[in-house]
Structure 1
Amino acid sequence: MTSPPPVHPIDTTQLRLAMAQMTSSNTHSENIAAVQGIARQAADQGAQLLALPEAAGLMNRDRASARQSVTTTGNDPFLAACRDTARAYRIWVQTGSTPVLDPPDERFRNRGHMIAPDGSIVAQYDKIHLFDVNLPGEPPRRESDRYAPGEQAALAATPWGLFGLSICYDLRFPHLYREYAQAGATVLFVPSAFAMSTGKAHWEILLRARAIENGCYVVAAAQNGHHADGRQTWGHSLVIDPWGEILVDMKQENGVAVMDMDMNAVTRARQMIPALQNTRPYAKPELPHSDALTNQ
């Protein structure tokens, strides 16, 4: 790695973000090498924060094979490499996520971190919402068979404000992001590995909705292309501003996109559409009496 850049005073109203789009492999070593190259490019362009996609550390749906590589957070080589990278380039790193073990549960955790430029871990987040579905004529899909769900939302304190952490399928649960915004979050991270069909149908729409309804930036670094474990992912890593405008779409090109984010845009959007202030308590709906339903 090159010598770390000099430390300069931080303008908290401007964040230079680097967002990575990857085709992660089923080995830590390949993914670490890819991230190190991306971080070097980001640092050369003056980025202050690097955002990685879901499964940036390891993408391997074969549990028996993955079990040979996946280890605890303290021993995880990908997390250690990200911390070294943050220190080397004096850059914040949002690690996307990587599978880790969290005994005594034998299932993995899909875990992401926010790392400060000194290599310290500022926040840790385990993916809360897991994709379990039973469709007619198809075998059940149960992410919870492989992964234990997270139980705690996580905010990372940074010089630019509070940043909310989430992962992929969490995107379909808007209350999580509303609670982040109500707590003061200005940026929402949604590292993902969306499938082709759902990516085409829902990816952009849901991300823009989360930005608009909360007056937040949304940073969604994504996996892209054909992976070693046989999967294909949608790509289209996006940065969306608090008004819902797409600032960056990486389409299906891997690499790094660097851009400047005006943090004052959050205040302006929330002043124009004060949905967070206008929220009111209400009672949950009562179910009509069964007689009323049968008499329709």
Structure 2
Amino acid sequence: MFKAAAIQMCSGIDPASNAQTMARLVREAALQGATYIQTPEMTGAIQRDRAGLRSVLRDETGDLIVQEAARLAGELGIYLHVGSTPIGLEDGKVANRGFLFGPDGKMICDYDKIHMFDVDLEHGESWRESAVYRPGSTARIADLPFCKLGFAICYDVRFPELFRCQAVAGAEIMSVPAAFTRQTGEAHWEILLRARAIENGLFVIAAAQGGDHEDGRQTFGHSMIVDPWGRVLAEAGPSGEAVIIAEIDIAAAHKARARIPNLKNARDFVLEEVVPAGKGGVAA
């Protein structure tokens, strides 16, 4: 048993200001007994303007959020998971990179968002993350003293194979820090998180951005902690700062997988396409 916290923010364009907000909310969560604390996607800066984003980018060693998170984790003796923050790369691209720090203040691992949010939504809303960000190619599981933690970021939640791969490899919690748009969040946020928890028999912890951002973006909020049976243990509101906390009993993941052992029952299969004779083929 341990207490997990998800931090909800409404990050602006200034990393220094966002770092101060992160520190204040992380301290609040730690005071409530949380030993694993997760911040949202793009904790360090939400900046739509590409030139403006590049002006505040730093590499991993010089990034303000990375430095502050390492210090906080060591000072508070917690596992601090920066959901993600933009990191400048040598090739001019940007990594949407998450970081996990241990109670000694040292980085345990990082994770680069794999799936890029390249979509055209209704009402003219359009996004092309691949124009700025370099996608990751490696999924990771952190074997912590209290759980095996898997990693995803935002749009990754729409790719169930990423979650299934990590669940089969032993992940008991999946992290889904996010900056879901308000439009897609209203339609899909909760159902996707609950589905990923249910189908893999694991906890989902999703710290989110929420509100009207300085760059004009609108995010959905509703940071959430879901148990392996799909029950919402804690949820924040639609906008503004929040700290949500839930007691996590890892045994619940194993109990859920024993009740419905779909991870064990999965079978390989072959897909065949049948073309009816009336469509120019020969019926199988």
C-alpha distance 258-135 of structure 1, shift in aligned 2 (>3 A): closer
Q: 1:220-250: per-residue Cα shift (whole Å, max 9, x none)?
A: 1100001111111100001000000000111
The match for 1:132 among 115, 118, 141 is 118
Which residue pairs with 2:67 in the alignment? 80
Tell me, what secondary structure is at the counterpart of 1:109? strand
Which residue pairs with 2:52 in the alignment? 65
The 5 A counterparts of 1:34-45 are 34-45=21-32
For the Cα contact (< 8 Å) 1:52–1:222, is it kept in 2? Answer: yes
CA distance in structure 2 between the aligned counterparts of 1:44 and 1:137, rounded to whole angstroms: 43
Which residue pairs with 2:261 in the alignment? 274
Which residue pairs with 1:199 in the alignment? 185
For the Cα contact (< 8 Å) 1:15–1:262, is it kept in 2? Answer: yes
The 5 A counterparts of 1:145-184 are 145-184=131-170
CA distance in structure 1 between the aligned counterparts of 2:123 and 2:245, rounded to whole angstroms: 44
Pairwise CA distance, 1:133: 3.0
C-alpha distance 292-216 of structure 1, shift in aligned 2 (>3 A): farther
CA distance in structure 2 between the aligned counterparts of 1:79 and 1:137, rounded to whole angstroms: 36
Residue 246, structure 1, aligned to residue 232, structure 2: yes
In the alignment, residue 27 of structure 2 is paired with which amino acid?
A: R
CA distance in structure 2 between the aligned counterparts of 1:292 and 1:102, rounded to whole angstroms: 54
C-alpha distance 225-15 of structure 1, shift in aligned 2 (>3 A): same
Q: Which ranges of structure 2 fall in alignment gaps of 5 or more residues?
A: none
Residue 141, structure 1, aligned to residue 127, structure 2: yes
Which residue pairs with 2:43 in the alignment? 56
| RMSD of aligned residue pairs (Cα, Å) | 1.8
Using structure 1 for the length normalisation, give the TM-score.
0.90
Which residue pairs with 1:10 in the alignment? none
Q: Which is further off, 87-96 or 41-50?
A: 41-50
Which residue pairs with 2:273 in the alignment? 287
For the Cα contact (< 8 Å) 1:92–1:114, is it kept in 2? Answer: yes
CA distance in structure 1 between the aligned counterparts of 2:126 and 2:42, rounded to whole angstroms: 22
Pairwise CA distance, 1:207: 0.5
CA distance in structure 1 between the aligned counterparts of 2:209 and 2:109, rounded to whole angstroms: 22
CA distance in structure 2 between the aligned counterparts of 1:80 and 1:140, rounded to whole angstroms: 33
The 5 A counterparts of 1:17-36 are 17-36=4-23
The match for 1:217 among 192, 200, 203 is 203
C-alpha distance 290-135 of structure 1, shift in aligned 2 (>3 A): farther
Identity %: 41
Q: 1:107-153: per-residue Cα shift (whole Å, max 9, x none)?
A: 11100011111111112110000022357995863210011111111
Displacement over 6 Å in runs of 4+: none
Pairwise CA distance, 1:54: 0.4
CA distance in structure 2 between the aligned counterparts of 1:260 and 1:173, rounded to whole angstroms: 27
For the Cα contact (< 8 Å) 1:122–1:157, is it kept in 2? Answer: no
